[in-house]
Amino acid sequence: MAGPGLTPRRGFLARLIAGVATLATAPGAVAGQSDPRQGTSARWDDSWTARVTGRHRAVFDIPEIKGGTVGLFRSGMWMDNYAEMYGVKDQDLSPVVVIRHAAVPMFMNDEFWDAYGYREEYASVLEDMPKGESGNPFRKQSFGRQDFGIDPLQTRGAIILGCGVAFRRIVSDVMKKDNVAMPDAEAKARTHILPGVVLQPSGIFAVARAQDLGCSYVWAT
């Protein structure tokens, strides 16, 4: 049996079967946005693509929660490296961070992490995180860098995308803990996605889409 952060293949397959078709046809699949529909699909938010305008562009692929902090750190470090090397500003850089597969709890908010016991569930993969704190440990910082957490990275211009397929595991957690049906669970889970994070049809879609826009790919976990 795989431990936290190591998604069992059976679970992945089950989510695919149970979730992809449902999610792909679900109304309101745009997370926390009013009317940001830019793509050809009315169901998914493609507006982030208009923000990929930097001279230097990179997509950071984070498929594991173990190593997720490293992934975030690497996106911030890349910004710093390019600033040092080429004298560019944050606005000249377009980092796109794709949080997918086993890493999806990273884009849930503090309230959700506390309510669903994620700190305890993922304790073994969060061993280097500050102890005795609550909430999402990825939100504010990464390895002590206050500008490398999900929130500050977004402030610096990073685009954070989430996998709509792997998000089903979050929905599944709500269904089990709250004993509610999938639509209710999904609606609730959506309200707990971190502000600014944009759900995509899949993380793979997002990774490919970012490269369509000129982003260099980095395996960041």
Partner 1 sequence: MESGRRDFLETLALGTLAASAGSLFQPGDAAAQGPAGSHWDLSWTSRLKGKRRGIFDVTEIEDGYGVWRAIIWRKQYAQVFGIPEANLSTVVNIRHNGIALALSQDYWDRYNIAAEWKVKDPATRQPTKRNPICTRTGADALPAQFADFTIENLMETGGIVLACALAFRDCVDRVAKADGISMEEADKKTRAMLIPGVILQPSGIFAAVLAQENGCRYVHVA
Question: Which residue ranges make up the site for partner 1 (CB under 8 A)?
Answer: 56, 58, 66-67, 70, 73-74, 77-78, 80-82, 84-87, 127-128, 143-144, 216-220
The total of other beta-carbon atoms located within 10 Å of residue 43's CB is 16
Q: What is the largest CA-CA distance in the chain?
A: 53
Residue 23 gets the label, from left (phi > 0), alpha (psi -120 to 50) or beta, of alpha
**48 vs 73, beta carbon nearer partner 1:** 73
Minimum CB separation of residue 57 from partner 1 in Å reads 9
**27 vs 87, beta carbon nearer partner 1:** 87
Judge contact between 77 and 145, C-beta under 8 A: no
Minimum CB separation of residue 135 from partner 1 in Å reads 20
**86 vs 114, beta carbon nearer partner 1:** 86
> Which distant-in-sequence residues (6+ apart) come within 8 Å of 187 by Cβ?
none
Minimum CB separation of residue 139 from partner 1 in Å reads 19
CA distance 75 to 115: 29
Minimum CB separation of residue 179 from partner 1 in Å reads 36
**213 vs 218, beta carbon nearer partner 1:** 218
Judge contact between 70 and 148, C-beta under 8 A: no
Minimum CB separation of residue 64 from partner 1 in Å reads 9
Count CA atoms within 13 Å of residue 137 on its CB side: 27
The total of other beta-carbon atoms located within 10 Å of residue 127's CB is 9
Residue with the two structure tokens 């990273």: 106
**45 vs 64, beta carbon nearer partner 1:** 64
